[in-house]
Amino acid sequence: RHIFIFCVLLTYVNALNPLLTLKCHLNRQENEPPLDKGALPWLGHALEFGRDAAKFLARMKEKHGDVFTVRVAGQYVTVVLDANSFDSVVNDTVSLDFISSKNQLLERIFHLKLPGLQPAAERYFQGCRFAKLCQTMKANIESLLLGEVQGSSAWEWKQDSLFSFCYSLLFRAGYLTMFESTGNANVVYEEFRKFDQLLPKLAQGSL
């Protein structure tokens, strides 16, 4: 009986050995953000992140600040919550390969591969064309905001959360910019909200 228990424990230790070795070698360097691996080997914070991502990120921010790295299901993810750092992070094309990440998400979420897609096709969102697109988007946002104000009486107040207001406004303005029509925008918006709530789990492959 004791031999059997010893064999089981030995098998368990051997199975965990690669995980323990990985944990020992992946340590935070001096010039890197705080590293929080979580209590569970390999899983890390995956369970808590899956339950409520917003609550988890708020807790990590309170603990580590605006920039930190967490382990989620074997992956080490660096989170940047400082809005003043977004531009420098997005413009760092050396460390971040957005094309590769985009292709991975397309395949994981939509099971879609676009091997023939050329980077030159994205030129329409650069230069003069991009400036024109931004101007149209700005005009649509102003039009929607003025429409909300003009459609209400002086004593009529509308209450909404900041996130919901911005989310709805940007979606409607973006939809109007891309399709130049608002005929079924409300229906599309409701369907988009349903999909958007599932998108993080689809991206993680946890559905």
pLDDT single digits (tens) 101-117: 888 888 888 888 877 66
Boundary-marking domain end, from 48, 78, 96: 96
The answer to which of 16-25, 77-86, 141-150 has the lowest mean pLDDT is 16-25
Q: What Rg do the C-alpha atoms of the chain give, in angstroms?
A: 23
**Hey, what are 190's tokens?**
């409701």
**CB neighbour class for 57 (10 Å; exposed up to 12, middle 13-18, buried from 19):** middle
**Domain span at residue 152?**
127-204
Bridge partners of residue 47, in order along the sequence:
none
Query: CA 121, 123, 129, 133: dihedral to nearest 10 degrees?
Result: 70
Q: Are residues 77 and 8 in the same domain?
A: yes
Q: Are residues 81 and 4 in the same domain?
A: yes
Q: Are residues 88 and 134 in the same domain?
A: no
Q: Are residues 142 and 71 in the same domain?
A: no
Assess if residue 121 is contained within a domain.
no
**CB neighbour class for 110 (10 Å; exposed up to 12, middle 13-18, buried from 19):** exposed
Assess if residue 58 is contained within a domain.
yes
Q: Are residues 3 and 85 in the same domain?
A: yes
Q: Residue 126 has what pLDDT?
A: 67
What confidence tens digit (pLDDT) does each residue in 29-53 have?
778 899 999 998 888 998 998 888 8
pLDDT band at 4 (very low <50, low <70, confident <90, very high): very low
Q: Are residues 136 and 189 in the same domain?
A: yes
pLDDT of 63 > 90? The answer is yes
Q: Are residues 3 and 81 in the same domain?
A: yes
Boundary-marking domain end, from 79, 96, 113: 96
Q: Are residues 139 and 184 in the same domain?
A: yes
Boundary-marking domain end, from 96, 114, 143: 96
Q: Which residues contact 130 (CB under 8 A, 6 or more apart)?
A: 124
pLDDT band at 158 (very low <50, low <70, confident <90, very high): confident
What confidence tens digit (pLDDT) does each residue in 168-204 have?
899 888 888 888 876 777 788 888 888 888 887 787 7
Q: Are residues 141 and 81 in the same domain?
A: no
The answer to whether 23 and 37 are in contact (CB under 8 A) is: yes
pLDDT of 27 > 80? The answer is no
Assess if residue 198 is contained within a domain.
yes
Q: Residue 79 has what pLDDT?
A: 92
Q: Are residues 9 and 86 in the same domain?
A: yes
The answer to whether 37 and 71 are in contact (CB under 8 A) is: yes
Q: Residue 145 has what pLDDT?
A: 86
**Displacement of CA 113 from its chain's centroid (Å):** 21
Q: Are residues 131 and 193 in the same domain?
A: yes
Assess if residue 104 is contained within a domain.
no
Assess if residue 109 is contained within a domain.
no
pLDDT band at 69 (very low <50, low <70, confident <90, very high): very high
Q: Residue 206 has what pLDDT?
A: 57
**Hey, what are 8's tokens?**
């089981």
Q: Are residues 152 and 71 in the same domain?
A: no
Ramachandran quadrant class, 41 (left: phi over 0; alpha: psi -120 to 50; beta: rest):
beta
Assess if residue 150 is contained within a domain.
yes
Bridge partners of residue 79, in order along the sequence:
68
pLDDT band at 150 (very low <50, low <70, confident <90, very high): low
pTM for the full model? 0.53
Number of domains in the chain: 2
Assess if residue 103 is contained within a domain.
no
pLDDT of 143 > 60? The answer is yes
Q: Residue 117 has what pLDDT?
A: 65
Assess if residue 91 is contained within a domain.
yes
